[in-house]
Amino acid sequence: MANQISEEVAAKANAIKEEANTFFANKKYEDAIEKYTEAIELNPNIAAYYANRAFAHTKLEAYGAAILDGDKAVEVDPKYAKGYYRRGVGKYALARYKEAAKDFRIVVKLAPNDKDAKLKLEDCEKTVARLAFERAIANNEVVKKVSDTLDLKSILVEDSYDGVRIDDGQITKEFVDDMIERFVAQKKIHKRFAYEIVLQARKHFMEQPSLVDVDIPKDHKLTICGDVHGQFYDFVNIFRLNGRPSETHAYLFNGDFVDRGTFSLEIILTLFAYKLLYPTGMYLTRGNHETDDMNKVYGFEDEVKAKFSETMFKIFSETFATLPLAHLVQKKIFVVHGGLSSRDDVTLDEIRNIDRIGKGQPGQGGLMSELLWADPQPLPGRSPSVRGVGQRFGPDVTENFCKMNNIDMIIRSHEVKHQGYHVEHGGRCVTIFSAPNYCDSVGNKGAFINIAPDKEKTYSLDYVQFDAVEHPKTQPYGNRFRAGF
């Protein structure tokens, strides 16, 4: 039975809800969540309050929290279509396609004229059918990797192609410089060269362990960058501000190169090309967005299909599965995209020996998934993540991991920070985020960390902040489903 609320309290709650709506409209989602929560505490009987808060959680990728709010909305009002809709979006984002389809089916029944819900239901049903078909094939025969069957020699480069070419498989500085200029001008490279870059990168990463050691020689420098999420023009600006990769200046990009922004393909091809040009001048960590589930929802799959082909996306998927999961810098800094495990006994050697290639996709549980999805929290211990995958870990967890593995700190990414970086857990945990004005809406700074050998200790850290730059205005990929995000 609903709580009895006076007209005065109900009116106050509604006024606070309107404040929350204003925050939401201005893309201040955390403030909106705070206000929706105030309204709910005053009047827990309004399903729309929970659905609105679920939408704000979705904007912050807190899908677990969005699902819980969807649960509450339909508990308050079992015929409230938007509650099922918000819950379905959260489940879809976490690749829970069958469950999402059930919610969208209810929405279509309650609101037969909702075209968007019909499209989402159709998308879910097609995805469920495709995954079932792929599982059936995998159970009945050995499925060959597309990467192992593609014949590059059959792809001819027309005489009219005006870019620098790859000859005899050799990536040159001239080629990489020309490729970046083409991308800045919104031009593509030939598909033959794109395939060659990705296939060579896959071969290289397959030979690396899941935890890669990075040593910085004397008079060299390493720059660590966080998420860049398809923001190619901000990505190039990092090199403009800080210098391009070279034999003496290495970069480590810590996951989430793709999705969200509309120039993900340009970023990942540039990163792979630099890795091939300077094997010890570019290091790449897998992020939670270098996965099939995220690429389907957040645009990279559709972007690659639009700019090249489905075959190209399959090869990217197979290559992302070979990316290392973490790096160890100067034997003292553990660099990982998400964070720490739900277990206290995880060693660097265990991480180093994870069979990431055999597993392929990280799934939503276990050590590999946790490394990609976890987030720090200020309180001790661990708690469930609002994302719906992974968990949150406190300063005591970080301290224990560092002491047990004889390291100083962890550097991770995965979360937008207003200043571009954030230091917590007594200096043991640093978040670095390198996509300024994230999604053209958050207004945050980007940042990177320059690390160099130090005479008095193993290394020194220098944090550098930067602002967003202008870029061409384009429509997001994957927009048919993204309407609900």
CB distance 109 to 80 below 8 Å = no
Q: Rounded to whole angstroms, how far apart are CA atoms 39 and 30?
A: 14
CA 175 vs CA 80, 106, 166, 237: distances in Å: 56, 53, 7, 19
State how far the Cα of 274 lies from the Cα of 250, in Å rounded to an integer: 10
Q: Is the dihedral of CA 478, 258, 228, 354 positive or negative?
A: positive
Q: Mapping DSSP to helix (H, G, I), strand (E, B) and coil, where does residue 284 land?
A: strand
- Residue 129 CB partners (closer than 8 Å, separation 6+): none
* Residues that are catalytic: 289
Angle at 141 between CA 138 and CA 147, to 5 degrees: 75
Whether residue 179 contacts residue 270, with contact meaning beta carbons closer than 8 Å, is answered with yes
Q: What is the C-alpha to C-alpha distance for residues 123 and 480, in angstroms, rounded to an integer?
A: 9
Question: Residue 433 pairs with which residues in a beta bridge?
Answer: 227
Contact 413, 226 (CB under 8 A): yes
Q: Where are the beta strands (DSSP E) in 117-234?
A: 211-214, 221-225
Q: Strand pairing of 221-225 and 446-452? A: antiparallel
Q: Please name the helix (run of DSSP H) or strand (run of DSSP E) that holds residue 120, with its range, or none.
A: helix 115-140
String of DSSP letters for 409-459: EEEE-SS--TTSEEEEGGGTEEEEB--TTGGGTS-PPEEEEEEE--SSSS-
Torsion, Cα 182 267 330 366, to 10 degrees, reads -160
Beta-carbon contacts of residue 64 (< 8 Å; ≥ 6 apart):
90, 94, 384, 385, 386, 387, 388, 389
